[in-house]
Structure 1
Amino acid sequence: MTSTPTSLRERKKAKTRAAIREHAMRLFEEQGYASTTVDQIAEAAEVSPSTFFRYFPAKEDVILVDDYDPMLAEAVRAQPLDVPPIEAIRRAMREVFARLTPDVWESERRRQKLFAEVPELRARAVNQMNDALELICDVIAERTGLPADDLRVRVMGGAIAGVVLAILPPGRMTGNSPLQPSDFERLVEGLDLLQKGLPLG
């Protein structure tokens, strides 16, 4: 009997979070990232500043926080256990990217443009790769039965994170080369090369 109210609450929270992010993106584009305050974003989204901070710990988190890592982790965990870790991650990426709508792709292009234009955001995004690395190592550990701090798990996780950073660094796909679904196909191909032992011949 409690599932429907919980679902309604979650949908309302998701709607509020999306509204805050959309108004923040619009203000960043119109008047610049540095010139936009949390108070302005909250006013535009018709929420209080305290509500803003319940969804995003700081202004930069509106851009830095994305929804892909949890989706990817869930998709990896759904893969059969006999699928090798890198292959499981490749399959999960294909599944997640295939579900992204045109609106989501456009939002991601806008986010990447801000990374390109605001050096401090780009630097923070690169630093955040450590969080992604920990998530990758967790799912590899789950699939292999090894501890997350096992050297083999850390090396494989670092290699996968390196492929992501090498092919899709924050802010790279902008300007005359806007982010496209095919860019993520390159990422999947990069993981395929890693799985095959990086043949260069």
Structure 2
Amino acid sequence: MSTSPPDQRAARADDPLDRLPLRERKKLKTRRAIQHHALRLFERQGYDGTTVEQIAAAAEISPSTFFRYFPTKEDVVVSDEYDPVMAADLRRQPPELHPVEAIRRVLRDLLPEMLDGGDGDTVLTRMRLTATVPSVRSRTFEAMRSGTQAMLRDVIAERAGRAPDDLEADALAWAVVGVLMSAMYAWLDGRVGMEDMPELIDHNLAFLAAGCPI
């Protein structure tokens, strides 16, 4: 399955990444171009059969420029820019909301934008590579820890008036990440379709907020 050209995705009026600051959007344009060419090559000739040099040549950049945007080849699959968008949207939620309910509200808007607004093919390709390439799968787990989980921990602690290293905020952030990973594996195992992911994630977050009554 092909990915949408980065210039078309960047121009979408409903692109949630347009909510990023201008400087970040400029860097995003280059990152998306590199990722677009990388995913196209991975689909055509396989992940292991594609080199950083080939990706750089396709994107008309040098290998050193590639590594300025992506520390490893795995990162070109794993990395996205939605964590800052999610963090900003979480900070705009009413302070009286429980953190999990605030996350539900944000993801109800953000996930359909990601999957239906033009990035769905890219998300699907990245998830397939995560499922089939061990080094990408390993890097995905590390990125979740240092990226999404850390972002959620910091915002949850901030909203609760706690220290950034608060252990309960950390535990709740890991629980939310577990919900996201559970949905991803349900798709990878063929138990749900990609179109079911937003509803499944929302259901599982509600289950978490209710204290997991099972």
Judge same fold: TM > 0.5, yes or no. yes
Q: Structure 1 residue 149: deviation in Å? A: 2.3
Per the alignment, in what secondary structure is the counterpart of residue 41 of structure 1?
helix
Q: Shift of residue 53 of structure 1?
A: 1.5
Code of the residue aligned with 1:139 in structure 2: it is: V
More deviation, 122-131/42-51: 122-131
Number of aligned positions between the proteins: 192
* 3-state DSSP of counterpart to 2:187: coil
**Aligned residue in 2 for 1:57:** 71
Matches within 5 A, 1:84-163: 84-100=98-114, 101-131=116-146, 132-163=148-179
Distance 2:50 2:87 in 1: 33
Identify the residue that residue 202 of structure 2 maps to in structure 1: 188
Q: Which segments of structure 1 move beyond 4 Å, counting only runs of 4 or more?
A: 9-12, 174-179
Of all paired residues, the percent bearing the same amino acid is 43
Give unmatched runs, 5+ long, in structure 1.
Answer: 1-5
**Counterpart contact for 2:90–2:102, Cα < 8 Å:** yes
Q: Distance between the aligned counterparts of 2:36 and 2:70, measured in 1?
A: 13
- Partners in 1 of 2:124 and 2:131 — Cα distance? 11
**Cα distance change, pair 138–177 in 1 and its aligned pair in 2 (3 A):** same
Partner of 2:60: 46
Q: Which runs of 5+ in 2 are unaligned?
A: 1-20
Aligned-pair CA distance for 1:10: 5.4
User: What TM-score results when the alignment is normalised by the length of structure 2?
Assistant: 0.81
> Residues 159 and 174 (structure 1 numbering): CA distance in 2 closer, same or farther, change over 3 Å?
closer
CA contact (8 A) 1:75 1:95 kept: no
Q: Radius of gyration: which is bigger?
A: 1
Q: Could you tell me the TM-score, scaled by structure 1's length?
A: 0.86
Q: Which residue of 1 aligns with 2:43?
A: 29
Contact 1:87 1:195 in 2 (8 A): yes
- Cα deviation 1:74-102 (Å, max 9, x = unaligned): 11111011111111111111121132344
Deviations 1:147-178 (A, max 9, x none): 13223222222221222222224xx6359678
